[in-house]
Structures are given as C-alpha cells and as structure tokens.
Amino acid sequence: MSLDQTSLDGPEIPEYMRVRPIEISTATMVQWLKPEPVGEAERSWVEQLEPGDYEIYDEKLKNILDEAREIFVRSGVTNLLTAGDLIVAIYTANGDLANASAGTYLHCVTGCLPVKYVMHKYYSDPTVRVEAGDIFYTNEARYGGIHNPDQMAFMPVFHEGELIAWTAALAHQPETGAIEPGGMPILARSRSDEGMKLTPIKIGQDYRIKRDLLDMMVNFIDRSPRMQEIDTRARVTGADRLRVRVQELAVAKGNDFVRGLLRKLVLEAEESARRRIARWNDGTYRAVAFADTIGREPALVRGMLTATKRHDSIHMDFSGTSPENDSSYNAFPHIVAAHAAIFLFAYPFHDLPASNGTLAPFEWDIPEGSVLNAAPNAAISNSPPLCCIVMTSVTLALSKMMFDSEDRDKIGAPNGNMGSEIIFSGTSQHEMPYADLDGCTLNTEGQGARPDMDGVNAYGFPWAHAGRAPDAEFYEDEYPFLRLFYHLRRDSGGFGKWQGGLGTETAIAPRHVPTMFWSSIGKSTHISVASGLFGGYPSSASPGIWVSGTDLWEKMNRGDQDLPEDAVSVAADRALQGEYLLEHLTRLTRIGYSGDLIVQLAAGGGGYGDVLERDPDLVLNDLKNGQISSWTAKEVYQIRYEEDSLILDETATEETRDSARQTRLKRGKPWDEFISEWSKLSPNPEALKYFGTWPEGVAETPVVRI
C-alpha cells in the first residue's frame, strides 16, 4: 500500500540535495538505504579534497560526533539514553549517512530514511520548507523509523545560506502513551494501540523548540511527562551541538569542503565494504532462527535467511519466514535491515564508517505478508524483540560465509539476542509518575563465542553493543523497588570448544509504595534464539519467576540467612512464603505488591565448536569460578577430576572423551534413516498457533486488525 505518491523534487532543488523518488510505503522505504547518485558538483567537491584531508577530517568528525553523544547522554534522564541506546549522526544534504557515534547500529538505517523523507516531501513545500534553525522530530516507522519508543530529533545545517548537511540525535524513550506502559505494549494488536507516532514534523524554528508542540508530546506521554520533556530537549541538544560543530568546520574550510568530505565518507564506506565482501567465498548460505513468543502468548516464530553472495554483493532473502500476526511482534523491511546492521557494523565492518554506504552491497528481499514485512497497519512496537530472528540468522549465515577468509577474526556465534527487561510504572517514592525499564538484565547478556576465545560475560545489550548497565543502586534511588540480587548466571553461556559468555540474573521487589505495575520481555524459554556455531550449543533456557504475597520484609527485618541468592534457589528452595509462578519470560502487565519477588534472566551467548575439544583446564577453571556446574563439567564437557581438590585427571578425561565419541557414533544415524524418523515429528500444537502451515510456514488465515 502506498502512503504517499507525492514527489516534489523540482528543478529548483540543486542536484546534491535531491533524493531519488521511491514509492513511500512500509514495504519500500528500505530502498532509500542505497546512497543517492553522485552528481557532477558533488563529484568535484570530493575530488577537490587534498591528500590527507579525508584522513584528518574523518577523524575530526568522529571527535565531533563523540562530543555530541556525550552532551546528549548528559542532558537526558531515562535509563536507555544514559545506558547508551542511542546514536548521533551526520548526513549529507540529501540524507545519506556519512558517519555516526553509535551506541546502537540500528539507527544507521532508521535515521537516514526520515531525513530523506523530509527532503523529498517538504523541502519544496511552501507550508513546511527546510530552513536554518529548523528542528524536525519523528518516531514513526512508516516514514523510516523503527518502533515508536525510538524518537529522533534532526536539524538541517546551513552555512552562508546553503544547506550543507543534516545532524540527528536519536534514543529510546521508555514510554509512548500506548495501551500499556513501557512503550512496547505486549497486548497491542494494531498500530492504533501503540500510542504517539509522529510523522517527521517541524517542532522548532530559529533554533528554539516550539512550546505548543512540546506540550503536545508531553500530553501524549502522561505516564512520564517529565521524562518526555527532558529527553526531547536532550535529543535536540545533541543534534544542535553537532550542528554547531559542522558549521564551525564550514567556516574554517568552506561549504564545498564539508559537502565533499561527507560524500567521500559514503563512497569510501561502500568501496571498502565491497572490497571486503569480495574476499569471502561465493555461494549460498542459509540459517534459521526461532523466537518463542508473540508477546501475549508463547508461539513459534521462524526467521529464515538465504544469503547469496556473488563477488562483492550479497542478496538477503527472508523467504520462509513466519506469516505476520495480530500482535505487536511484526516488522517492516527497513527494520530488518537495521537489525542486520547490528551484526555488520559490529563485526565484519567494525572499522568502516557507520554509513549507509557500507550497506550498499546488500539487496533485501523480504516477502510481503511475512512477520518481517507486515501490513502498514500492523502493530510493530515489539519489532526489535521479534528481530532477534534476524540478528541470529544474519550472524550464522555470514559467519559461515566469512570463515574461510582473512576476516575469520570478525565472526562469532550469536549473542544472547534476548532483550530481557522488566518494565515498570506507577508513582514513585518521590511521588513522581514514572514508566521505565530495567537496564540491568537488558545490558548484560552474554556474547557469542569466537573462533579463538570465549564470549565475554555480561558483555552488553545485543541491540546496542556499547550499552552500559546502569548502577543497580540508581534504580533503588529513583524507583520504588529493592534489588535482591544481580550477578552472572551459571551455565547460561552456550557450551562449546569456546564457551558463550554468561548472561546475568536479577530479582527485584516493589517497596516504599503499595503497588507497582510491571511486565517483562524476553525469550528463549522454550527454544533458544542464541544458537551455537560449528558444533557449539545454544544458550540455556530462561523461565520467568514471580513470587507473590511473600514474607520478604519480615525475613529481612529478622535477619534471616536463607534469602535466595539466585533464580534457581528462588524456585528450588522456596525459602520465601508466597505463591510461586514459573512462566514464559515475556509476561503481561500486572500489579506487583510490596514484597513480591520478580525474577528476570538474561541469556548467555551461543557456544562455538565441539565441547569435547574444549581445553579441560578451561573447563575446570569455569567450574572453580562458578560459571558452570559439576553436572555440566562431567556430562557435557566430559572431564574427570578429583572432587575435593578439583585437580584434573588427564588420563580419565581422555578416556571419557574417547568413549563419548564412540557413544556418538552408536547414537547417530545415516541421513535417510534419520530423516525418515525425524520428519514424522511435529512440535507441541500450542507452539504452532501463529506459525502457518507446518513446516512450510504459509499463512492459513488472513490477519484482521481493527
């Protein structure tokens, strides 16, 4: 469905500012990810750069970007912003991303599309125009954004009356005025349930935010109005600091220099990416990944990728992916590309500019009607959790593509890819309305293992690698709960020759207030999305645990010594009185009462290689450090040691591992025999409710959204 066929790229627009027209629809916005054609003037500005200019001023731009990011973080208040789930970016005058300082690479895709939309639609529109001092704002996926918690401020940069660049600052806002608190409503069934969605609009002129429009936004976000106002200003502050620095550069070096430099960054990024891709083996690489929820209920959702690499380009075909559904776990193609970018910019292209030029070698083929290319009226506020299936399948397919090349050091098993978070809202102990989420589990998932090392424990947030877990005490200060424990989670990393990094686990209990609304997001309860690579195992299972009506405060007042210290002891020892509920890690909004215990788990990363190839001394170290259990050491890694001293028995270990290989040979069946038995199986019918036909995944019924 086309949302807008209007194109206003008239002859009065200089060539370097033009955006090639596309059909504006949710299915086609991804086409603007390709860099714009380079005209004669722009080519000459690139060629006018003197030797050394590019190298020196590329570095200067990075410093400017980092400065603006720091200003942005220090100006904001919500924890995903302060944790680093953000980007500040600089674009050419026609919206190509030249470079960015990125906490998350998602917005290397979803940032440039709204800029192109404004240039395409509004530059020549006399009722809007683009002028010096303008401040634009958006959070709408239909026009190139991602889910609506991700809000973006962007500003044109003028010098001597000419448009020379755009700047932007974008970060996640944990409240959108949707039908549930937290910005990612699990119960949303259509876009009408998802709260504020701003098309790209001008919220400021003459470098000042318009009070009436700010009030409009705050009015939408009345569960946390203070946060909305402060963070809107923070975004504008970040974009404006960048704007000032770019103008200073133009004063010093001239407009042509700035425009040439920005375009050269885009061109160099593409050329470098193509050179790198050309050295990987040509072929077709397939991967499949599963999520186990559509939010309101557990369900299998399949992501299927066929990546075909020829010379210096890669065709990404997601045919076979599950059909769209009437939950908020749907996405659009540019959102898929954004999730592929998370791997691409962090691993194979980590040293290239965070530019859409780097992504130019990729073609995207995402079937309409699939969960990754849903109808324009679909709810998509949980598209990032859904797109874990993209992150895993892209990591697997490209790691297999790249192994036999000099880029082997740039691959790895998938990270935890769970997006584990508790979302909470209400009125705080300071009598302030709040709606936020717990960045502690979110930012401490395990990294996937690498070809020559274990994954990093609690490495970060797979959607925003540079994200930092906030101090646990920050939350207790700001919000009405106590954090009972928060630490690494044993056995959570995927087992293998190299082990996936551990995730974490935490438990919080509402206090100071009688009640707190909460829900949670996560997955890998029934099937892991953090797959292993080359014989490594996936990460471990992650249930959600809730204990209501506890005697926690009484026990703490008495100084009882048997308070639970981890998730397993909560569920196994049951030292707390109360009602215990174990369920999927994605949990609907409910009321938590003072003293209830909410346990949330973060996934480990996938393992790499055969477990029997892991150095037994490393296994023993893991055991000593509490990273794995004795059961895992013996039953999975097959090592033998003295129980008291934990000294390795090398001979017994070698014999045990030889025996384990013999057991595999007895257990394994030839292809035909295995397929004959295997193909008769099917999953629990509960798992297939939204899968489509089994096993093809073809939609069986049309999706109806009201």
Partner 1 sequence: MKRSITESLVANTESLEWECRRCQHTLGPVAENYKKGCLIAQRDPKEIWEPLIEGVLNFSYDATWSRIVEFYCPGCGALLEVEMLPPGHPLTHDIELDLTMFTDENSADRSSKDSAQ
Residues 647-676 that bind partner 1 (CB under 8 A): 660-665, 667-671, 674-675
Q: What does the alpha-carbon distance between residue 403 and residue 533 come to, in Å, rounded to a whole number?
A: 11
Q: Does 398 bind partner 1 (CB under 8 A)?
A: no
Q: What would the DSSP string read from start to end of 429-447?
A: TTS-EEEEE-HHHHT-BPP
Candidates 80-88, 166-174, 175-183, 520-528; binding stretch for partner 1 (CB under 8 A): 520-528
Measured in whole angstroms, the distance separating CA 506 from the mean position of its chain's CA atoms is 21
C-beta closer to partner 1: residue 152 or 601: 601
Q: Which is nearer to partner 1, 182 or 414 (CB)?
A: 414
Q: Could you tell me whether strands 362-365 and 313-317 are parallel, antiparallel, or unpaired per DSSP bridges?
A: parallel
Interface residue with partner 1 among 70, 565, 583, 649 (CB under 8 A) is 583
Compare residues 104 and 293 and give the one whose CB is closer to partner 1: 293
Residues 310-339 that bind partner 1 (CB under 8 A): 310
**Distance in Å, CB of 447 to partner 1, minimum:** 17
Task: Single out the residue of 451, 455, 462, 510 in contact with partner 1 (rule: CB under 8 A).
Answer: 451
Window 485-514: residues binding partner 1 (CB under 8 A) = 491, 495, 497
What mask of x and - would describe binding to partner 1 in positions 524 to 543, judged by CB under 8 A?
Answer: -xxxx--xxxxxxxx-xx-x
Residue 690 makes CB contacts below 8 A (sequence gap 6+) with: 294, 299, 300, 301, 322, 323, 325, 327
Minimum distance of partner 1 from residue 637's CB (angstroms): 11
Exposure of 344 in the CB half-sphere (CA atoms within 13 A): 32
CB of 32 to partner 1, least distance (A): 30
Binding-residue pattern over the window 591 to 630 for partner 1, x denoting contact by CB under 8 A: -----------------xxxxxx---------------x-
DSSP H helices in 310-387: 333-346, 383-386
Task: Verify binding: residue 153, partner 1, rule CB under 8 A.
Answer: no
Question: Which element (helix H / strand E) includes 136?
Answer: strand 135-138
292 near partner 1, judged by CB under 8 A: yes
Least Cβ distance, residue 543 to partner 1 (angstroms): 4
Extended beta strands in 524-605, E state: 544-548, 579-583, 587-593, 597-601
Distance CA(218)–CA(247), nearest Å, equals: 31
Q: Which of 286, 483, 590, 640 touches partner 1 by CB under 8 A?
A: 286
Q: Least CB distance from residue 681 to partner 1, whole Å?
A: 3
Which amino acid does the sequence have at 62? K
Q: What is the DSSP letter of 634?
A: I
- By beta-carbon proximity to partner 1, the closer residue of 495 and 517 is 495
User: φ, ψ for residue 154 (rounded to 5)?
Assistant: -145, 145
Closer CB to partner 1, 77 or 568, in the complex: 568
CB 321 → partner 1: shortest distance, Å?
14
At what angle are helices 53-75 and 225-253 packed, to 10 degrees?
160
Give the binding-site size for partner 1 (rule: CB under 8 A). 76
Instruction: Confirm or reject binding of residue 698 to partner 1 (CB under 8 A).
Output: no
Residue 582 CB, nearest distance to partner 1 (Å)? 4
Beta sheet of 162-172, edge-to-edge order: 97-102, 86-91, 162-172, 150-159, 135-138, 201-205, 208-209
